[in-house]
Structure formats: structure tokens, C-alpha cells
Amino acid sequence: MAENLNDYREKDLKILRPNFFEKDPLELAPEILGSLFIIEKKTYKLIARIVEVEAYRGHLDEASHAYSGKTKRNEAMFGPPGHLYVYFTYGMHYCANIVCAPEGTAGALLIRAAIPIEGINHMRRRRQARIRRLDDKDLLRGPARFCQGLGIDGKMNKLVLSKDKTHAYLAKDSVRLDGEIENSPRIGIKKAIHHNWRFFVRNCPYVSR
DNA sequence: CCACGGATTGGCT
DNA sequence: GCCAATCCGTGGA
């Protein structure tokens, strides 16, 4: 695993603008790994380094929510790139996707795990309200845990990722993961399990299992 | 209208 | 390893 994944240097930050996400999720996935998900609250900042994502596509992907076409629930996936698609599942959990591919084409990356970087105590408070013991490595390990730790819920569906407009955005620092990215089948699905569309940082203990 | 099960998680055996 | 929790979108009658 690359060094320095648990830290970042603010002066190296390069903000990702919405048009950066206008590409196929399979192409975007390895580029997003290692980048920082940042939410600026009024009095503090939450930063998490993404280490695991899954690509979901449109009508060619049986496991995608968009497989059968646009519905009220999944329409964010068909919207402009650089927005969030947040959905509610199992009666209690939210999961967050980064919408990609050109507008009108369904494509998204499910964020499955991240390393807490800044605002860890705020993340811990949100998560620990429900769980007894909690290791740092479990704070954001899993798609619903990621949302819980960062306070992402259905109100953030279709939110545009923009430092100026919404204070929620992605950024890259100097971390590079060349040669440290693996892929595998996606987790928790029953269809299209032959695609290796889960991407994660090799040997990273913050990745889900 | 109703039944089914889900891109999950945490606790218990 | 197993299963309950707990809504709601989706699909079939």
C-alpha cells in the first residue's frame, strides 16, 4: 500500500470539477481511488480518502439500478456527471454514488470505503451513536458506513459536487496509486457477478471484506 | 393492491 | 456463519 494515505497536504490539492467525471465509470474508477472526498461544514471540515469503489452502468449492466431504464429513484444516474446519486436501502441505510458518464447515459461509482483523514471525531460521533466499539478502520468501511460517517442521506441526492456551490467536492493531492489497484467482482449483488467492476487499493486495511 | 427482496450492517451462536 | 432490522421501489395480479 502506498505511504501517506492517512495524511494529505492542503497545498497540493487539485479540485475535481464536474466535467472531470464525464467518462465511462470503468475508466473513472481507478482515477478516483486515492482521491479525497471533502465536505465543508460551517465550523469544521470532513475529509476522507476513497479506497474502494464499484462501477455501475446502464442498460448493459444487469446489476445496475438503471438497468430497466429511468425511474424516479434512479434518475440521478442519468443526470449530469459530477453529481451524487444517493439511495435508501434495507429500510435503514443510505449509499452514495458519484454520477459519471455524459448526461443521458446512466453511469455511477458506488463509494464503498474510505480512510478518515480530517474531522474524525465528527465521523466517530455519527457512527458511535449506534455502535459500541469502533476502530478507525471501521469508521467508513462499507458503503452505508461511509454515508453515516459523513452525514450523507437522501437530501443529498442529486447534489452537485462543487467547492463553490455546495461545499462538497472531490480533490486529488500528491498521492499516486500506480500499480496498487486491484479489481474483483462486485459485492452484495446476484446478477452480473462475472464482471470485475469493484476497484480497490491493494492491501489497504480500510477496504471492505 | 400486495408481496418480495435489496449495491447492508451489527449482534449473536 | 447466521439472521433480524426496517422501509420502500418495483413488478406482477
**Res A131: pLDDT:** 74
Band of the pLDDT at A118, cuts 50, 70, 90?
A: very high
Distance CA A149, CA A134 (A): 12
Residue A152: CB less than 7 A from any atom in strand B:
no
Best CA proximity match to A81, nearest among A106, A55, A53, A114: A106
A177-195 tens-digit pLDDT: 989 999 999 999 999 999 9
Q: What is the percentage of chain A residues whose pLDDT exceeds 70?
A: 98
Mark the nucleotides of strand B covered by protein, meaning any atom under 7 Å from a CB: 6-11
Residue A110: CB less than 7 A from any atom in strand B:
yes
Best CA proximity match to A87, nearest among A68, A111, A69: A111
Closest residue by Cα to the C1' atom of nucleotide B5?
A90
Residue A209: CB less than 7 A from any atom in strand B:
no
Residue A149: CB less than 7 A from any atom in strand B:
no
**Res A196: pLDDT:** 97
Best CA proximity match to A64, nearest among A190, A200, A201: A190
Band of the pLDDT at A8, cuts 50, 70, 90?
A: very high
**Res A133: pLDDT:** 73
**Res A132: pLDDT:** 67
Residues 6+ apart with CB under 8 A from A158: A76, A79, A83, A84, A85
Mark the nucleotides of strand C covered by protein, meaning any atom under 7 Å from a CB: 5-11
Distance CA A47, CA A36 (A): 6
**Res A209: pLDDT:** 87
Distance CA A49, CA A111 (A): 11
A19-52 tens-digit pLDDT: 999 999 999 999 999 999 999 999 999 999 999 9
How many CB atoms are located within 10 Å of the residue A46 CB?
22
Cβ atoms A181, A113 nearer than 8 A? no
Residue A108: CB less than 7 A from any atom in strand B:
yes
With b for 16 or more beta-carbon neighbours within 10 A and e for fewer, the A185-195 pattern comes to ebeebeebeeb
A64-108 tens-digit pLDDT: 999 999 999 999 999 999 999 999 999 999 999 999 999 999 999
Residue A75: CB less than 7 A from any atom in strand B:
no
Q: Is the pLDDT of residue A197 over 70?
A: yes
A171, A35, A31, A111 alpha-carbon torsion, rounded to 10°? -110
Residue A77, helix vs strand vs coil:
helix
Residue A77: CB less than 7 A from any atom in strand B:
yes
Residues 6+ apart with CB under 8 A from A68: A59
* Mean pLDDT score, A160-164: 97
Band of the pLDDT at A3, cuts 50, 70, 90?
A: low
Q: Is the pLDDT of residue A128 over 90?
A: no
Spatial distance from the CA of A138 to the C1' of B10 (Å): 12
* Mean pLDDT score, A122-131: 88
The region of weakest confidence among A23-32, A51-60, A130-139 is A130-139
Task: Specify the nucleotide whose C1' lies closest to residue A89 (CA).
Answer: B6
A140-161 tens-digit pLDDT: 999 999 999 999 999 999 999 9
